[in-house]
Copies of this chain bind each other. A is one copy, B any other.
Amino acid sequence: MLSKNQIKYITSLSLKKFRDTEGVFVAEGVKLTGDLLSAFRCKLLLATSAHFADFNKYRAEEKLEVTEKEMERISGQKSPQGVLAVFYKSDITIDIKSIENQLSLALDDVQDPGNLGTIIRIADWFGIKDIFCSEHCADVYGQKTVQATMGALARVKVHYVQLDEFLPSVKNKIPVYGTFMNGNDIYKSTLSPNGIIVMGNEGNGISSKIESFVTEKLLIPAYPEGEATSESLNVGVATAVICAEFRRRAR
């Protein structure tokens, strides 16, 4: 049975300040929890009777079988899926030599948790190992983001940095790409197999401070060019189109 303190502890983790103090985050669901168990140290693993036997094989500091009622009390999901775990955040270090030899993403204030989760999933699909988030980005350990990653968080490293310090440190070594309405058609541009692709905020795009560190401005052209269309693509969608094109060239 879950103690009152455990219930209080788990529900407190919906707030960033408690996740930060404790250095942990929550994930839910059979598939997602299973994926993350292979990548993060587990502090507490809870499962209903339907799932407990399956999950008992995994390592966790504490494992408990809970009732469906208890699961409903602690779950952040509309329809709890019977498995919830508290994981320790990883200590993620930036390996600057690897960064220089690969393609990475940088996010300038991407604030919607769902968008951040989608972008992590896209990064995973396209073999991008590191994402550099500005400090005003959504919290990757917030539950909405964790759930939206669909387990990609097990394979993609998300770093929170001062982008205006990080980008200058790499921009003389590798190209820094960004999308702008006045950028060059991505399909007519030279794309390097290594570099950083900066994606901007949902409403404002890339800030002028960060724009100054972008060495190659790109544009995803609408079709047919010049016709009245939606003013922009959603940031997740734009990230996908850009990553797909970089990877197509690298094949």
Q: Which residues of A contact B (CB under 8 A)?
A: 118, 121-122, 124-127, 150-152, 155, 187, 220-224, 227-231, 233-234, 236-237, 240-241, 244-245, 247-248, 250-251
Contacts and interface: CB of A to CB of B under 8 A. Distances in A.
Contact of A241 (B155, B229, B240): B240
27 contacts: A118-B237, A121-B230, A121-B237, A122-B233, A122-B237, A124-B229, A124-B230, A125-B220, A125-B223, A125-B233, A126-B223, A127-B223, A127-B227, A127-B229, A150-B231, A151-B230, A152-B229, A152-B230, A155-B228, A221-B251, A236-B236, A236-B237, A237-B237, A241-B241, A241-B244, A244-B245, A245-B248
Copies in the complex: 2
Kindly list the 3 A-B residue pairs having the minimum CB-CB distance in the complex, ordered from nearest.
Answer: A223-B247, A127-B223, A237-B240
B250 A223 contact: yes
Given A122-B233, A127-B222, 8 more contacts: A118-B237, A121-B237, A127-B227, A150-B230, A223-B250, A233-B240, A244-B244, A245-B248
B187 A230 contact: no
Given A125-B229, A127-B229, A118 B251 contact: no
Nearest to A119: B237
Contacts of A244: 220, 241, 244-245
A78 to B, nearest CB: 13
Contacts of A124: 229-230
A237 to B, nearest CB: 4
Contacts of A230: 121, 124-125, 150-152
A124 B125 CA distance: 25
A229 B152 CA distance: 7
